[in-house]
């Protein structure tokens, strides 16, 4: 599971990352609301832990912006504020859960597990874009003219692109989401799989295309 922590207290952010890594989760942190929005909208995270009091954009503003743009990733608000009004505001803006500092580590992890299960309850088995359908169960792409089986890495790359249609996914983000933070996969490995995917999309007569943003990444 890949977790984004948006927390401006760097010591606490480091503690949170270590807690998650001890549970064998992947975790990284950013320290202000603007970066929080950018990272969240990459779509590579399974859960987001979000502080309310942030520089540049508050946690409430981050929530409103990412939900407005259609992000469905479960979000846990983590804040020093305990007033009922703040909890209500966070939930109304789109948070899935709320935990007040100081927190108990066991309770934090229990809430993270609960959010993970909640996400699994709403798994979409098909993604559609243009004339193609990506089946998450069979790892096949289909059009009215053809059905083609994808390899596991091809499927994961196309899934990430379709879930973020029109948005550039950097090579670093592909590497973190698909190969993992500690992977030794080279960036040209991603290029090879993208090349395979392009050929399969063409063979299926797809009307969508993987485009390259030179020096940055890819978008669909």
Over residues 10-30, the pLDDT tens digits come to 999 999 999 999 999 999 999
Strands (E), the chain: 2-6, 26-30, 47-50, 75-79, 97-100, 126-129, 132-135, 140-142, 147-149, 169-170, 211-213, 217-219
Whole-number Å distance between alpha carbons of 81 and 83: 6
3 state DSSP class of 8: coil
Q: What is the mean pLDDT of the chain?
A: 88
**CATH of span 2-121:** 3.40.50.2300
Q: 59 vs 33, 34, 49, 68, CA distance in Å? A: 7, 10, 10, 14
**Dihedral pair phi/psi, residue 211, rounded to 5°:** -100, 150
The partner residues of 28 in beta bridges, in order of sequence, read 4
Local structure of residue 145 (DSSP, 8 states): S
* Statement: residue 92 has pLDDT above 90: no
3 state DSSP class of 33: helix
Whole-number Å distance between alpha carbons of 190 and 112: 30
**Dihedral pair phi/psi, residue 206, rounded to 5°:** -70, 150
Q: Which pair of tokens denotes residue 211?
A: 């485009």
CATH architecture of the domain with residue range 126-219: Orthogonal Bundle (1.10)
pLDDT value for 123: 53
* Statement: residue 183 has pLDDT above 60: no
Among 49-63, 73-87, 196-210, which stretch is predicted with the lowest mean pLDDT? 73-87
- With cut-offs at 50, 70 and 90, classify the pLDDT of residue 208: very high
Whole-number Å distance between alpha carbons of 87 and 72: 19
Given CA atoms 121, 40, 63, 25 in this order, what sign does their dihedral have?
Answer: positive
Domain layout of the chain by residue ranges: 2-121, 126-219
* Statement: residue 44 has pLDDT above 90: no
Highest mean pLDDT among 3-17, 93-107, 128-142, 168-182: 3-17
pTM value?
0.60
Residue with tokens 């196309």: 158
Cis omega (within 30 of 0) on the bond before 102? yes
Closest Cα to residue 178, out of 193, 198, 157? 157
The partner residues of 170 in beta bridges, in order of sequence, read 217
CA angle 206, 209, 156 (to 5 degrees): 90
């Amino acid at each position: 599971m890949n977790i984004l922590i948006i927390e401006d207290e760097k010591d606490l952010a480091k503690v949170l990352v270590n807690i998650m890594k001890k549970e064998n989760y992947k975790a990284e942190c950013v320290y202000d609301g603007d970066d929080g929005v950018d990272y969240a909208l990459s779509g590579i995270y399974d859960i987001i832990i979000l502080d309310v009091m942030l520089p540049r954009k508050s946690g409430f503003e981050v929530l409103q912006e990412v939900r407005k743009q259609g992000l469905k990733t479960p979000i846990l608000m983590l804040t020093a504020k305990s007033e009922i009004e703040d909890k209500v505001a966070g939930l109304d803006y789109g948070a899935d859960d709320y935990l007040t500092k100081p927190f108990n580590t066991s309770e934090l992890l229990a809430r993270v597990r609960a959010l993970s299960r909640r996400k699994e309850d709403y798994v979409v088995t098909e993604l559609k874009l243009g004339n193609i359908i990506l089946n998450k169960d069979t790892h096949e792409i289909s059009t009215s003219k053809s059905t083609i089986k994808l390899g596991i890495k091809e499927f994961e790359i196309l899934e990430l692109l379709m879930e973020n249609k029109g948005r550039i996914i950097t090579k670093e983000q592909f590497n973190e989401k698909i190969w993992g933070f500690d992977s030794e996969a080279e960036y040209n490995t991603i290029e090879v799989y993208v090349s395979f995917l392009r050929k399969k999309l063409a063979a299926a007569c797809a009307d969508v295309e993987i485009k390259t943003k030179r020096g940055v990444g890819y978008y669909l």
